[in-house]
């Protein structure tokens, strides 16, 4: 019970932030005045999107990359449309427009803070462009979202999760499904330069209209997480 209580405390901030995000998310979609026909059409293109939140320290402490800065909070890896549990191959068009993004100073500043490239060899603009063309263009095909719409929606889905110590992956899962989030995510792990297995990403499933979380009907962990009983959260 003590371990579960600790794990639940780790996610309290995530719950509060998520409630605010869903409220904004719903109002944003409402402002787009999406027709029922478009919502139905979306089901044929992708079932849901996978929001991947990565823990920067676990990305940077492997000895394989030298991060110039290590953010103190979870950052966004991406928002990826999925079909039958697999990534959707998006059209890749329209291409990323850096001038369009820089025309929105507030959005650019937000992305620099919560969606930075952790790889010093890939500038933020290159990282964001790749995410838009590989994943975001599906939202353009279905909902006619621009790249800035996609970036804004992704940023507004950001979950403010804070680190703890070490817990079993099922403690994390149970804390989430017993909270207001009440949906099963999926977890990704890696190991640091000393070989310690650690939490790298928490991935949440969002139904295709972007209004609500849903259970991820995927394996709860990758094989790396299954190597140990306790997962470090450095």
Torsion over CA of 154, 155, 160 and 161, rounded to 10 degrees?
40
Work out whether the CA dihedral 85, 89, 27, 21 comes out positive or negative.
Answer: positive
Q: Which of 66, 93, 125, 131 is catalytic?
A: 131
Q: Which listed residue (135, 158, 167, 201) is catalytic?
A: 135
Question: What would the 3-class secondary structure string for the chain be?
Answer: CHHHHHHHHHCHHHHHHHHHHHHHHHHHHHHCCCCHHHHHHHHHHCCEEEEEEECHHHHHCCCCCCCCCCCCCCEEEEEEEEECCEECCCCCCCCCCHHHHHCCHHHHHHHHHHCCCCCCCCCHHHHHHHHHHHHHHHHHHHHCCCHHHHHHHHHHCCCCCCCCCEECHHHHHHHHHCCCCCCCCEEEEEECCCCCEEEEEEEEEEECCCCCEECCCCCCECCCHHHCCCEECC
Q: Indicate if 167 belongs to the active site.
A: no
The active-site residue out of 77, 158, 167, 201 is 77
Beta partners for residue 83, in sequence order: 86
Instruction: Tell me whether residue 135 is one of the annotated catalytic residues.
Output: yes
The pair of structure tokens assigned to 136 is 């975001």
Catalytic amino acids?
Answer: 77, 131, 135
């Amino acid at each position: 019970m003590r371990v579960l209580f600790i794990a639940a405390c780790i996610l309290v901030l995530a719950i509060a932030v998520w409630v605010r995000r869903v409220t904004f998310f719903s109002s944003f979609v409402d402002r787009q005045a999406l027709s029922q026909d478009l919502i139905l059409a979306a089901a044929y293109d992708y079932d849901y999107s996978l929001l991947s939140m990565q823990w920067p320290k676990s990305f940077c402490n492997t000895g394989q990359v030298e991060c110039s800065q290590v953010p103190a909070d979870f950052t966004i890896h991406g928002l990826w449309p999925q079909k039958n549990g697999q990534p959707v191959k998006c059209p890749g068009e329209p291409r990323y427009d850096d001038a369009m993004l820089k025309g929105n100073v507030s959005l650019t500043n937000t992305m620099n803070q919560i969606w930075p490239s952790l790889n010093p060899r890939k500038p933020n603009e290159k990282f964001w462009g790749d995410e838009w063309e590989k994943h975001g263009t599906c939202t353009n095909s279905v909902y006619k979202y621009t790249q800035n719409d996609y970036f804004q929606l992704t940023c507004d889905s950001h979950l403010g999760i804070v680190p703890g110590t070490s817990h079993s992956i099922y403690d994390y899962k149970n804390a989430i499904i017993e909270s207001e989030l009440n949906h099963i995510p999926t977890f990704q792990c890696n190991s640091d330069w000393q070989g310690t297995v650690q939490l790298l990403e928490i991935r949440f499933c969002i139904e295709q209209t972007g209004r609500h979380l849903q259970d991820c009907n995927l394996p709860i962990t990758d094989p790396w997480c299954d190597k140990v009983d306790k997962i470090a959260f450095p």
